[in-house]
């Protein structure tokens, strides 16, 4: 079928096959069980069938990863484990374009964002290799003579990783690269929308493993939907479950993992806002907010969803942001096109959610200033391209407090900074936030304990596009987990406190006398 301005589905399928082959995946998984399919949001059509796992085959994958943990990986010195991630980093540099191609085909990301996502993988590889020589434990002075007190960090076991469609490679790599250098093995259940991308990542990691002599079962990928993910939730051999997705998913998963005393690390929804103060540099506001709100077609956890603007500058800000959005209107479509800035939504659900949210916003007194219309419907009826929307709201009602995974930016106004912070924190989610201001004291107040309640708090940049060096994650309904840089690695290890007596006596702590 020819889609006018869009590439043919057959062409996309061929490109996907070639990219997979180049990553080292020559055969798609067969007959493991359930029938599945790979599809592309670019045309909305199926590329080709892919076999999904069954709960039984997923359990076997967990068993294999557990064996590999106990028999080899936990005793492999951390710097040697780092060599595996180092090799993966080299292969990612070599195959950056191939993996980005799969991300574009399955997640619909524009080329530069898809390449940026693979760059994020390369960056975390570099970070994790350094980390492999820095899994530091502290030593503390003992209160007893002839004693040494210290802590040692050990791997946990098998880490289950569940990822979402919107960052199909980077979020896997944050978890997996860190988990592997920490001495864990990994079972990965990617979104069922991005199976090919996952196979590409797994293919590269298996090549890296073969090159450095690591066992192949250090990493297994299990494909499919919730029933496959459920195995990772329930299986006691999954020591840590790191899951990215909706708050509803997190609420379902967390109590089950907690009931078996497993650990979990959750990266859930965001409802990120930027406060625009009267002193703000409006050039920065426009660039920062248009990228954060409309980039990735509004499908990042870190997407800017609320702009909280001081009354004195709101008309100016709105005019300039809407201008920016009008320019975007010419640049919606085929994510392969160099000039495209907004690719498709991943599917119909996002589109329906966007339509419903816009209707509800209007019912709550909002005014849609730009966007909201569907595009390219005639060229590809199964694909969902939309114009990113800006909606001026009279207040922070129900719909603004929800996360709609689509490009809608709500504009609210404030008078005092206290009021801005109250609005800002007055949503259930707590991932990312920003303030645009030239007033240092105001910026510091936003960064302080009484300011933003999010895990990420920025000044004069948007809410999305975090670097890997910092810890990534958020509070409240966002789930509380931290991944990626800083000391996030500690979530992937267990701490042992060691007291060593090298003196000839055995004094008891706290002055206790016994025998
Ligand atoms: C996500 O949307 O799940 O900060 C992750 C960002 C990216 C990661 C987003 N580095 O926008």
Q: How confident is the model at residue 33 (pLDDT cuts 50, 70, 90)?
A: low
Handedness of CA 222, 344, 250, 244 (dihedral sign): positive
Ligand 1 mutation pick, 166, 175, 464, max ligand atoms within 8 A of CB: 464
Task: State the DSSP string of 188-249.
Answer: EE--TT-HHHHHHHHHHHHHHHHHHT--GGGEEE--SSHHHHHHHHH-TTEEEEEEES-HHH
Which among 193, 288, 191, 311 is positioned nearest to 245, based on CA atoms?
A: 191
Ligand 1 mutation pick, 165, 167, 481, max ligand atoms within 8 A of CB: 167
Tens digit of pLDDT for each residue in 119-160? 999 999 999 999 999 999 999 999 999 999 999 999 999 999
> Which CATH code is given to the segment(s) 9-268+479-496?
3.40.605.10
CA–centroid distance, 149 to ligand 1, in Å, is 39
Q: Give the ipTM of the model, two decimals please.
A: 0.98
Tens digit of pLDDT for each residue in 42-95? 999 999 999 999 999 999 999 999 999 999 999 999 999 999 999 999 999 999
Place of tokens 């007190």: 149
| Res 168 pLDDT > 80 | yes
Ligand 1 atom 6: the closest Cα is on which residue?
465
CA–centroid distance, 470 to ligand 1, in Å, is 12
Q: Which two tokens stand for residue 298?
A: 């509004």
CA–centroid distance, 117 to ligand 1, in Å, is 9
Could you say which DSSP state residue 402 is in? Answer: S
CB 317 within 8 A of CB 307: yes
Angstrom CA distances, 364 to 309, 391, 421, stand at 19, 11, 22
Largest CA-CA distance found in the chain, in angstroms, rounded: 89
What proportions of the chain, in percent to the nearest 5, are helix, strand and coil?
40, 20, 35
**Rounded Cα–Cα distance for residues 375 and 391 (Å):** 19
**Rounded Cα–Cα distance for residues 252 and 199 (Å):** 27
Q: Count CB atoms within 10 A of the CB of residue 321.
A: 25
Active site (catalytic) residues: 267
| Whole-number pLDDT of residue 434 | 98
Residues of the chain with CATH 3.40.309.10: 272-472
Angstrom CA distances, 379 to 173, 372, 373, stand at 35, 18, 15
Q: Which two tokens stand for residue 419?
A: 């009021």
Tens digit of pLDDT for each residue in 198-253? 999 999 999 999 999 999 999 999 999 999 999 999 999 999 999 999 999 999 99
| Whole-number pLDDT of residue 3 | 44
Could you say which DSSP state residue 8 is in? Answer: P
**Bridge partners, 310 (sequence order):** 414
| Whole-number pLDDT of residue 4 | 53
Ligand 1 atom with minimal separation from the 301 CA = 2
Tens digit of pLDDT for each residue in 342-400? 999 999 999 999 999 999 999 999 999 999 999 999 999 999 999 999 999 999 999 99
Residues with CB under 6 A from ligand 1: 120, 166-167, 171, 244, 300-302, 464-466
What's the alpha-carbon Rg for the chain, to the nearest Å?
A: 24
Place of tokens 């490009």: 407
Between 3.90.25.10, 3.40.309.10, 3.30.565.10, 3.30.230.10, what CATH number should domain 272-472 receive? 3.40.309.10
Q: Count CB atoms within 10 A of the CB of residue 42.
A: 29
CA–centroid distance, 465 to ligand 1, in Å, is 6
Ligand 1 mutation pick, 109, 170, 304, 456, max ligand atoms within 8 A of CB: 170
Residues of the chain with CATH 3.40.605.10: 9-268+479-496
């Amino acid at each position: 079928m020819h889609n006018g301005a869009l590439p043919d589905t057959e062409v996309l399928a061929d490109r996907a096959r070639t990219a997979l082959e180049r990553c080292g995946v020559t055969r798609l998984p067969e007959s493991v069980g359930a029938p599945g399919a790979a599809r592309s949001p670019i045309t909305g059509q199926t590329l080709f069938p892919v076999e999904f796992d069954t709960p039984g085959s997923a359990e076997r994958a967990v068993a294999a990863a557990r064996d590999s943990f106990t028999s080899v990986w936990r005793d492999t010195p951390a710097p040697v484990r780092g060599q595996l991630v180092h090799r993966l980093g080299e292969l990612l540099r070599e195959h950056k374009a191939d993996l980005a191609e799969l991300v574009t085909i399955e997640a619909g990301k524009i080329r530069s964002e898809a390449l940026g996502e693979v760059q994020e993988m390369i960056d975390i590889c570099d970070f994790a290799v350094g980390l492999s020589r820095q899994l530091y434990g502290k030593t503390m002075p003992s209160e007893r003579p002839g004693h040494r007190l210290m802590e040692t960090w050990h791997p946990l076991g098998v880490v289950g990783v569940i990822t979402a469609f919107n960052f199909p490679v980077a979020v896997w790599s944050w978890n997996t690269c860190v988990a592997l250098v920490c001495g864990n093995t990994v079972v990965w259940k990617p979104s069922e929308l991005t199976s090919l991308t996952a196979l590409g990542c797994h293919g590269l990691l298996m090549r890296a493993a073969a090159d450095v002599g690591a066992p192949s079962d250090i990493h297994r990928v299990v494909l499919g939907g919730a029933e496959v993910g459920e195995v990772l939730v329930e299986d006691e051999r999954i020591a840590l479950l790191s899951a990215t997705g909706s708050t509803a998913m997190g609420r379902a998963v967390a109590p089950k993992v907690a009931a078996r005393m497993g650990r979990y690390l959750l990266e859930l929804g965001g409802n990120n806002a930027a406060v625009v103060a009267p002193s703000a540099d409006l050039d920065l506001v426009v660039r920062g907010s248009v990228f954060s709100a409309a980039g990735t077609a509004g499908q990042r956890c870190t997407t800017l969803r609320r702009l909280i603007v001081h009354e004195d500058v709101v008309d100016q800000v709105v005019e300039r942001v809407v201008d920016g959005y009008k320019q975007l209107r010419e640049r919606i479509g085929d994510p392969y096109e160099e000039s495209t800035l907004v690719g498709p939504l991943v599917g119909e659900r996002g589109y329906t959610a966007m339509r419903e949210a816009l209707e509800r916003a209007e019912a709550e007194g909002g005014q849609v200033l730009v966007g909201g219309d569907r595009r390219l419907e005639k060229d590809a009826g199964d694909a969902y391209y939309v114009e990113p929307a800006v909606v001026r709201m009279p207040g922070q009602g129900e719909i603004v407090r929800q996360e709609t995974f689509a490009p809608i930016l709500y504009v609210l106004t404030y008078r005092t900074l206290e009021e801005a912070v109250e609005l800002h924190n007055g949503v259930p989610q707590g991932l990312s936030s920003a303030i645009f201001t030239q007033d240092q004291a105001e910026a510091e107040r936003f960064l302080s304990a009484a300011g933003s309640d999010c895990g990420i708090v920025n000044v004069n940049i948007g809410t999305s596009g975090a670097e890997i060096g910092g810890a990534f994650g958020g509070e409240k309904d966002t789930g509380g987990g931290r991944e990626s840089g800083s000391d996030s690695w500690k979530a992937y290890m267990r701490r042992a406190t060691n007291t060593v007596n090298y003196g000839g006596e055995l004094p008891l702590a706290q002055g206790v006398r016994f025998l």
